[in-house]
Structure 1
């Protein structure tokens, strides 16, 4: 069965039970009667040209291109505060911890060439869209299940090992990294900080640690943030588990692709999608 870009977006929302398209996802060039798609984590101008040349009906990316969602990306970052307060971080502290990330994204969006990739798709008359937050939410739920299935006395090393059994992570060339803490540390309370636009850096992790969370999971983190956290929490029993960006993104995207193929869309995967499928 052929699908439209609107129907494809609706499938992504149905998978997570949402009604509204998040600000980091969008249909940049709409289309109908789509039977084939090139799907990847990052699909920009070169990949759009490749898809048009090879006769695909749709270019479906995970990460936002330089289009309107990047300009309006900041509203998605409200999830940062939502996740922190759910773990007992006071709202004022959570907002303070997320403020630098939100400001940085607002500034980046204001300076981005938001017409670059969508205009190439328009020029080539090929439908183009991206779906970011919903697949990430699928990945977040998968990580949550792993944490919840462990015994109360589990160690962070055991958590890392179980995460490494997820097919997308097992097949990736990146490994689950313990950026803060020791393998035999108690796992304790776990915050899965994924599907919030981006990682929270040292400020968000600190807010968690200071309010009872023992282990924070990010899918990626900067070296500077790691250094700050090690300096402040290096001997406190706190843990930062980092699962790997592309492998982690592939978890939700693969589930999304499975749903699309069940509805009749023939998907070819590149650029990180398809790992572990």
Structure 2
């Protein structure tokens, strides 16, 4: 196995034909038999992998080089996601711009070389795989919720919570699904799962979804300013399907495929099997 094959497997599962901006092979490698993968894999995890005899390290969250510097560009995928939900494309683009510009200011000034230089010095093959796994997660969660509630127009938020908690992904996990905006007996309306956009698009993006007829957004996390604005404007509901268990859904599909290809894969740093 080599790093190109590992990456191509992930892209194929996510139905992508090229690497998104937040996904890249930072240090190439071949003859890979043992992979250590986690949500956040930085220099300490690279050292751990070397000490334990692993051939490759994979981080879900972008930690190096262009995956950091160009991170804001990957947020463009949110435009098509909003359009799919009924937001006009011009409005979707404008809704995203403010948060995208803010993210670009921070990422462009970051120390993008910190982890990649460590990986190169150690000659440790290293990959960042972000949106491909998030696409897989989003599709799985949206499909299951659609199937559960498609013919139940009076679905309430408590019904969604109970459904999520019944899935193996969230059972017996420390962080549990919960309502961030709304209450148990509030009607859900149309449900949209937003788990693949690089990062949260901000209040303008959430407002666009609600104005397009979405009643409840399912996300991995929500910033305080977004939560506050949605409550104050009384425009919709937000349910959180916890970050680490949700990220694990897509990543474990990739891990499963790698294992079928004969690679020994160990999960850590937030990936919960």
User: Pairwise mapping of residues 105-116 of structure 1 onto structure 2 (< 5 A)?
Assistant: 105-116=103-114
Q: Distance in 1 between matches of 2:166 and 2:31?
A: 38
1:168 is displaced (CA, Å) by: 2.6
CA deviation after TM superposition for structure 1 residue 265, in Å: 0.8
Distance in 2 separating the partners of 1:53 and 1:147:
42
TM-score normalised by the chain length of structure 2? 0.95
Corresponding residue for residue 189 of structure 1:
190
Among 242, 256, 266, which residue is 1:244 paired with?
Answer: 242
Cα displacement (A) at 1:219: 0.8
User: Which ranges of structure 2 fall in alignment gaps of 5 or more residues?
Assistant: none
Structure 2 counterpart of 1:118, from 113, 116, 125: 116
TM-score (norm 1): 0.93
Aligned to 1:217: 218
Distance between the aligned counterparts of 2:167 and 2:32, measured in 1? 31
2:177 corresponding residue in structure 1: 176
The whole-number CA distance in structure 2 between the counterparts of 1:264 and 1:114 is 32
- Say which of 101, 104, 108 aligns to 2:102: 104
RMSD in angstroms over aligned alpha carbons?
1.3
Determine if the alignment matches structure 1 residue 159 to structure 2 residue 192. Answer: no
Distance 1:228 1:258 in 2: 40
2:228 paired residue number: 227
Is the 1:12–1:256 contact (alpha carbons within 8 Å) kept by the matching residues of 2? yes
Q: Using the alignment, how far apart are the partners of 2:125 and 2:73 within structure 1? A: 25
CA contact (8 A) 2:194 2:219 kept: yes
Give the aligned partner of residue 209 of structure 2.
Answer: 208
Q: Distance in 2 between matches of 1:200 and 1:178?
A: 19
Cα deviation 1:105-137 (Å, max 9, x = unaligned): 211221011111010011011101111111111
How far did 1:147 drift? 1.9
Contact 1:199 1:219 in 2 (8 A): no
CA deviations over 1:120-166 (Å, ceiling 9, x no partner): 01101110111111111111011111221123222222112212223
Q: Distance in 2 between matches of 1:270 and 1:13?
A: 21
1:29 alignment counterpart: 27
Quote the Cα distance in structure 1 between the aligned partners of 2:94 and 2:85: 16
Deviation digits for residues 210-246 of structure 1 (CA, Å, limit 9, x no counterpart): 221111111111122211111111xx5x211111111
How many residues get paired? 270
Q: What is the CA-CA distance between 1:201 and the residue it aligns to?
A: 2.7
